[in-house]
Chains A and B, each alone.
With several copies, the nearest count.
Chain A
Amino acid sequence: MTDTLTPAAARSTDTEDVARLLDHTGARVADERLDPWIADVDTAMLRQLYRDMALTRRLDAEGVALQRQGHLGLWAPAQGQEAVQVGTAWACHDDDFLFPSYREIGIELVRGVAPADFVMVWHGAAHSSYDPFAVHVANPQIIIGAQSLHAVGYAMGIQRDGGDQIAVAYFGDGASSQGDVNEAMVFAASYGSPVVFVCSNNQWAISEPVALQAQYPIAGRAPGFGIPSMRIDGNDVLACVAAMRWAADHARSGEGPAFIEAVTYRMGPHTTSDDPTRYRDTDELDHWRARDPLGRVEAYLRSVGAFDDAFQQAVTADADRFTAAMRSAVVGIAPPAPLRVFDHVYAEPHSGIDEQRAQFAAYLDGFGTDGGVA
């Protein structure tokens, strides 16, 4: 420590300086640190991972389609990020509590969130849908980075309960600039809390390249807070499973927080409202298309004879069912009753809300509108 601490030459923009297990051609490569964590992952499991990624992709495409057709106000595409979402969620225990941002649909899929619950929020019917305690996933966070502190607090609660769960904070490369994310690392490190930070570095925060948030790799930030980290190929689902198992094991065994930077790429626009042609080259897309998270798994499975038409058809059928359910949940859905505006502001009776609700109900009555009072 008495030395001048000069950051190594690594660059945040070097997307090849990562640990991986499946390269972009689908070839299995060795990694000393990651290999031990996936010793049990056989072909059947890999097919399962593939299926969940494929479902995530279809779910995502359906979200975009529903938005284009006017059924959703907005959609935040996840295309290209299926491996980190599915792989890390898959590596957790069912009762580990995950705190995602708005783009982490793959982890919700893995946790069994119902098709309708992927569209209700973007449809505009509700601010959140599924029961977070049923699936152990908090409702997606929109305020960039805020959920990282919630995950740490939850982990502090686990420590107090003596539970053997962990909490997981998911966020993006842009979020790494927020004070909250850094404070989350401070609290987690000080208390040695069982939390894993997963930064999905998809190279962009809307129009801003990662180099504006960090010159040095984001994974390099955690050790300075006393938190071990790993920088992995976020498009390699095996590496994602392995890294998450390493991190979760570290956290679960009482050694405190761990950090994963998953280097991936946002293939689509930031949201359906965004126009990425204003700020990025299509060359980039070609580069990353060749590194697709699904393609490499398919190639690997084919190379070991575990990917055939029957499997593909089964996956497609699952996805068809899933997306059909999404669609039917939202197409032709009745608008919410007006007085729902007043529901759940408080958990206990509140004179102010009661008065306003009653006044508004009387006002609606004047129009013959049924407020839909509970």
Chain B
Amino acid sequence: MTQLTMGKALTAGLRRALADDDKVLIMGEDIGALGGVFRITDGLQAEFGPRRVLDTPLAESGIVGTAVGLAFRGFRPVVEIQFDGFVYPAFDQIVSQVAKLHYRTQGQVRMPLTIRIPWAGGVGAAEHHSESPEAYFVHTAGLRVVACSNPQDAYTMLRQAIACDDPVIFLEPKRLYHAKGGVELDGDIADAAPLGLANIVRPGSDVTVLTYGAQVTTALDAALAAEDEGISLEVIDLRSLSPVDYGTIAASVRRTGRVVVTHEASREGGVAAELIASVTEKCFHFLEAAPVRVTGHDVPYPPAKLEQYHLPDLDRILDAVDRVLGRPNSMSEVSA
């Protein structure tokens, strides 16, 4: 067990994938000499050479489109999109090519691409540097979408994503890049929990809190605070946003009867909507109250000085917990 930041765990995962499989390539803007703006690819070009770790021209559609061609040639490209907000120029290649080629060709052409996206807000960044585009990818059949929330998962899930024969959107919460944790570096990925499984990061009995990415930390903080008031929250880290591990989730909801979903992305058409619709379908008769969403507002990501009012924090989660428990809350008057 080594103590690593999530950033270093990701670097270790990439290094391991490059070492294990000649067909793995890493490509993106500034990932070579600079090691990426977040230093996730630090040292990898020096170690594996510019044929395997390549700086690309500044064009995201070009990066993903050429990665598709490399996959045609048998490679397993790992693409770095510099920031979440810069994935949109590649949207056509992702939605119309990466996601559809295996289906289009009846399985003849595989697309084992991993698209890494430094993701979401909370770091006081400029516009376009704090986006949470996961719902777009979750709605796109043919893609798998995962988000890590701690160094061990970052390391293991990245290796699993690269080893997966399907395209994987790999979301890396920026605000956790410096968070530290123990990482078992020697494990075999075949022995780890499969990529699609959720993780009960804190068991509890009163309310099920569903979340992913950096919000897992916020939800755990909320669980601690709730404990002081005698409320027990079960916090589930989804890890995989598509497909979702409804086995784990439904079992929890059947026990608690109450659900709060929290994510940074805006609410309308967000991942929380899907989770609530599915949970309601699967657990309707177990629900004691309407599931509650605690999300970013339906606004473009605001300027840095306002992001604290956009991102769902501990207090907003607790307010939602009060709501599902029928305790006094900010909407008590509205719902009364």
> Which A positions have Cβ atoms within 8 angstroms of B?
73-74, 97, 99, 121-128, 131-133, 138-139, 142-144, 146, 148-161, 167, 174-175, 177-180, 183-184, 186-187, 190, 205-208, 212-213, 273-275, 278-279, 335-336, 338-348, 350-353, 356, 359-360, 362-363, 365-367
Contacts and interface: CB of A to CB of B under 8 A. Distances in A.
A348 B124 CA distance: 29
Contacts of B103: 127, 344-345
Minimum-distance CB pairs A-B, first 3: A153-B69, A149-B65, A157-B73
B104 A360 contact: no
Contacts of A175: 58
B75 A73 contact: no
Contacts of B166: 346-348, 350
B117 to A, nearest CB: 16
A278 B35 contact: yes
B136 interface: no
24 contacts: A122-B126, A124-B303, A127-B105, A132-B108, A143-B96, A144-B58, A146-B93, A149-B62, A150-B68, A157-B69, A183-B61, A187-B57, A206-B37, A213-B57, A273-B37, A341-B297, A345-B298, A346-B144, A350-B243, A351-B243, A352-B243, A356-B297, A362-B334, A365-B330
The majority secondary structure among interface residues of chain A is helix
A125 B303 contact: yes
Contact of B57 (A142, A154, A186): A186
Contacts of A73: 124-126, 304
Nearest to A161: B73
Nearest to B69: A153
Interface of B: 25, 29-30, 32-35, 37, 51-52, 55-59, 61-62, 64-75, 85-86, 89, 92-93, 96-97, 100, 102-110, 112, 124-128, 141-142, 144, 164-166, 196, 242-246, 267-268, 297-300, 302-306, 309-310, 315-316, 319, 330-331, 333-334
Q: Which of B37, B56, B65, B105 has the most CB of A within 10 A?
A: B65
Contact of A341 (B107, B110, B302): B302
Contacts of A190: 57
B124 A180 contact: no
The majority secondary structure among interface residues of chain B is loop
Contacts of A161: 73
A127 B96 CA distance: 13
Nearest to A122: B126
Given A139-B105, A142-B126, A179 B61 contact: yes
Nearest to B124: A73
Contact of B297 (A212, A348, A360): A360
Nearest to B101: A139
Given A177-B58, A205-B58, A128 B106 contact: yes
